[in-house]
Chains A and B, each alone.
Chain A
């Protein structure tokens, strides 16, 4: 049972990092639907770096860096070029999907390095994740920078006129977000499930997207959501722990995805809508053009 819980928490860590990144993105008004692509890049390049050099540090560093670069790319398309953010996000996803399939192919298989040491039986990233959630909450709600970010996400023209550079703020957020997503991918391929296979993230990036909507842009609710999802995922892999023999294991695999649909449905009900609508950064997804 502990094994199950531990794995759930470790899975949740990845959701936390990826969704936290997207939360920061969205608070500044940028929508990135290509989280999966950024994660794939982080996971693949991190994996390659770590395996080639034998250094975990390098692997994570590479994962973070490439994530930041991709975040910056998304920012470039959305902010500077004013391309539709959904199109850009889709582009990043397919770019990731396509390139990593080819580039990672020679590395298919296990990582082959000794596992990262655990703290109290859990991956160190789990604790890092919690710390980052708190830090994000603090920065967003208690600092000047946070106020600027939130204002940019709600009403960029007001922010601009008040002396905040919308472009710079958004670039900052998009890059930091990318770094977190790349890190999430690297954690997946180096710690959680260190075996490379093409398109091995199985839609986690999209689940993270749904998680951000569900969390109403509150880092703590987000953390709760990730824990829930981590557990659900483990459950879908090991249904025998809870309900042995109930359903084909293939059908169990659909549980996390069906749950996401359910969550999205709940979020669209009237009760949720009014609160959700109020919490939503007003300028989310709208490109900002300086007048």
Chain B
């Protein structure tokens, strides 16, 4: 480790002129960055701004084409993350990089040079407990990781980097999967660590309030370049957003008013198990009418995924009923539901919503092979489906060389647009959209949201499941926060207050909110 005896305020990590090019795009363009010991320095930027590339370079996962990295005053070159770890840089990933089946202790000491031939768990346990006390973490070291909550898993990753001797921590979207309560705890820990002269670098996309709450300085990236270096005290959410996007950002979308029709979907007391056998849905009831967007807001893992799957016919309902247009379809197959006018846009667009090795035409066929107009007497009319695919590609501006390209060659946004187009072309009565804008850039997100509104205008009923609270608030006619498999309330969109919904997502009962 290079950094013994570093004083507060000294530069511990210097990045000069880092440039990285990929075919067709300059991901990082002459980026300069200076991180001081004991500071919390946020790096802000939209998807595609170059944050991930920069982060990977700092952690040794990528090599820069140009530029230098200095740790302390020594120039360093990372051939792999091991080199970065050796000089004291640690990374806490957005999607947990832990072995779920192993215990907390085993995860922390994996690969540690001091782990010893025969595992000396006791000594490691003591040392790690010390770390926990120091920064206010409380964790059962002998628990298996899969049993932990998201926030606790993140603590394990933090401990892992600390135990390896990191004093510069890169945090990738640290609060994206946390409940508001867990977020508070994390922020407190980050403060504690920074007081101990560790440098913390959170890389963030949208949680602007977090940036304002916790960081000392902010560096904003846009299109691969640094567009602003600001002292957090001297900036506002609005100005940060403007630097990120390059124009004034509208935070609230006007909600379109549409006349409501009859009830399409009725869900009564629905219960279902998660993959691990726990009760994921615990008695959910609601209904959706024509022309409505019903938004379910919640942190991932509270039953939304299971709800979508049960409604789509992909998961068994352990109890309760689902009715479409008055007909009980609780035990109907998913094929039946497609034929009855349900449409489902799954959150996993690559593994479930599409088949990468299939052409776009074949992907369209996924929702049309059973359709009498396109498939008669067992023979699929590929010619017709091809025409349909071309129409979809046109209408939804899917960037692709042609309908015979393989789906895996499409970018995330274009793939999602294709799936959206394919499902919407069936004019579903009920549209279930699960995390429809996740991972998409600004342009694609806007497009998808507009299409959802269009569907509502065309008198479909839309069930929107999203982890983006702002998205739910701005699009939905009804907002239903979900927590541990129960809907904590059903609030009309105009009357929903952000803080209250956030609190309900974290488990508190509705306070003074109408349901």
In their complex, do chains A and B touch, with some C-beta pair under 8 Å? yes
**Chain B positions 89 through 119: 1 when the CB is less than 8 Å from some CB of chain A, otherwise 0:** 0010000011111100011011111011111
Q: Do B111 and A163 touch (CB < 8 A)?
A: yes
Looking at chain B's contact residues, is the secondary structure mostly helix, strand, loop, or mixed? loop
Report B86 CB to chain A, min CB distance, Å.
9
What are 14 contact pairs spanning A and B, CB under 8 A?
A148-B111, A154-B101, A154-B102, A155-B98, A155-B99, A159-B99, A162-B110, A162-B111, A162-B160, A163-B81, A163-B112, A163-B113, A164-B110, A274-B276
| Chain B neighbourhood of A279, CB < 8 A | 101
- Residue total for A at the interface (Cβ-Cβ under 8 A): 22
Contact A151-B99, Cβ < 8 Å, known A159-B110, A162-B111: yes
Q: Do B101 and A143 touch (CB < 8 A)?
A: no
Among B91, B100, B109, the residue within 8 A (CB) of A147 is: B109
A144 interface contact, C-beta 8 A:
yes
| Chain A neighbourhood of B131, CB < 8 A | none
| Chain B neighbourhood of A150, CB < 8 A | 99, 102
| Chain A neighbourhood of B119, CB < 8 A | 142-144, 147
A157 interface contact, C-beta 8 A:
yes
Q: Do A142 and B110 touch (CB < 8 A)?
A: no
A113 interface contact, C-beta 8 A:
no
B82 interface contact, C-beta 8 A:
yes
B277 interface contact, C-beta 8 A:
yes
| Chain A neighbourhood of B61, CB < 8 A | 291
Among B85, B100, B116, the residue within 8 A (CB) of A154 is: B100
Report B244 CB to chain A, min CB distance, Å.
27
Q: How far is the CA of A164 from the CA of B110 in the complex (A)?
A: 8
| Chain B neighbourhood of A143, CB < 8 A | 117-119
Q: How far is the CA of A67 from the CA of B107 in the complex (A)?
A: 33
Among A148, A157, A282, the residue within 8 A (CB) of B110 is: A148
Q: Do A161 and B115 touch (CB < 8 A)?
A: no
**Chain A positions 142 through 177: 1 when the CB is less than 8 Å from some CB of chain B, otherwise 0:** 111101101100110111011110000000000000
Contact A151-B110, Cβ < 8 Å, known A142-B118, A143-B118, A274-B277: yes
Q: Do B101 and A278 touch (CB < 8 A)?
A: yes
Q: How far is the CA of A147 from the CA of B112 in the complex (A)?
A: 11
Among B97, B112, B115, B276, the residue within 8 A (CB) of A158 is: B97
| Chain B neighbourhood of A274, CB < 8 A | 276-277
- B residues 52-110 with Cβ under 8 Å of A? 61, 81-82, 85, 91, 97-102, 106-107, 109-110
Q: Give 6 closest A-B pairs by Cβ, nearest first.
A: A162-B111, A163-B111, A154-B99, A158-B97, A162-B110, A155-B99
| Chain B neighbourhood of A291, CB < 8 A | 61
Q: How far is the CA of A171 from the CA of B210 in the complex (A)?
A: 45
Among A147, A157, A164, the residue within 8 A (CB) of B106 is: A147
Q: Do B117 and A144 touch (CB < 8 A)?
A: yes
- B residues 451-506 with Cβ under 8 Å of A? none
With A154-B102, A155-B99, A161-B91 already in contact, 13 other A-B pairs whose C-beta atoms are closer than 8 Å: A142-B119, A143-B119, A147-B119, A148-B111, A151-B106, A151-B111, A155-B100, A159-B110, A159-B111, A161-B81, A163-B85, A278-B101, A291-B61
**Chain B positions 156 through 181: 1 when the CB is less than 8 Å from some CB of chain A, otherwise 0:** 00001000000000000000000000
Q: How far is the CA of A154 from the CA of B106 in the complex (A)?
A: 12
| Chain A neighbourhood of B106, CB < 8 A | 147, 151
**Chain A positions 250 through 288: 1 when the CB is less than 8 Å from some CB of chain B, otherwise 0:** 000000000000000000000000100011001000000
Contact A161-B101, Cβ < 8 Å, known A143-B119, A144-B115: no
| Chain A neighbourhood of B160, CB < 8 A | 162
Among B81, B102, B107, B118, the residue within 8 A (CB) of A144 is: B118
Report A282 CB to chain B, min CB distance, Å.
7
| Chain A neighbourhood of B100, CB < 8 A | 154-155, 282
Q: How far is the CA of A143 from the CA of B97 in the complex (A)?
A: 22
| Chain A neighbourhood of B81, CB < 8 A | 161, 163
- A residues 102-156 with Cβ under 8 Å of B? 142-145, 147-148, 150-151, 154-155
| Chain A neighbourhood of B117, CB < 8 A | 143-145
Q: How far is the CA of A157 from the CA of B112 in the complex (A)?
A: 16
- B residues 161-204 with Cβ under 8 Å of A? none
| Chain A neighbourhood of B110, CB < 8 A | 147-148, 151, 158-159, 162, 164
Q: How far is the CA of A196 from the CA of B113 in the complex (A)?
A: 49
Report A273 CB to chain B, min CB distance, Å.
9
Q: How far is the CA of A89 from the CA of B278 in the complex (A)?
A: 36
Q: How far is the CA of A268 from the CA of B107 in the complex (A)?
A: 30
Q: Which residue of chain B lies nearest to A164 when distances are taken between CB atoms in the complex?
A: B111
| Chain A neighbourhood of B113, CB < 8 A | 163
Report A33 CB to chain B, min CB distance, Å.
23
| Chain B neighbourhood of A142, CB < 8 A | 118-119
| Chain A neighbourhood of B276, CB < 8 A | 274
Report B52 CB to chain A, min CB distance, Å.
12
Q: How far is the CA of A81 from the CA of B276 in the complex (A)?
A: 34
Q: How far is the CA of A291 from the CA of B62 in the complex (A)?
A: 9
Q: Do B118 and A158 touch (CB < 8 A)?
A: no
Q: How far is the CA of A161 from the CA of B161 in the complex (A)?
A: 11
Q: How far is the CA of A143 from the CA of B100 in the complex (A)?
A: 19
Q: Do B115 and A147 touch (CB < 8 A)?
A: yes
Q: How far is the CA of A116 from the CA of B112 in the complex (A)?
A: 46
| Chain A neighbourhood of B109, CB < 8 A | 147
Q: How far is the CA of A237 from the CA of B511 in the complex (A)?
A: 75
Report B36 CB to chain A, min CB distance, Å.
26
| Chain A neighbourhood of B118, CB < 8 A | 142-144
Report A98 CB to chain B, min CB distance, Å.
31
Q: How far is the CA of A151 from the CA of B108 in the complex (A)?
A: 12
Report B256 CB to chain A, min CB distance, Å.
42
Report B89 CB to chain A, min CB distance, Å.
12
Q: How far is the CA of A147 from the CA of B106 in the complex (A)?
A: 7
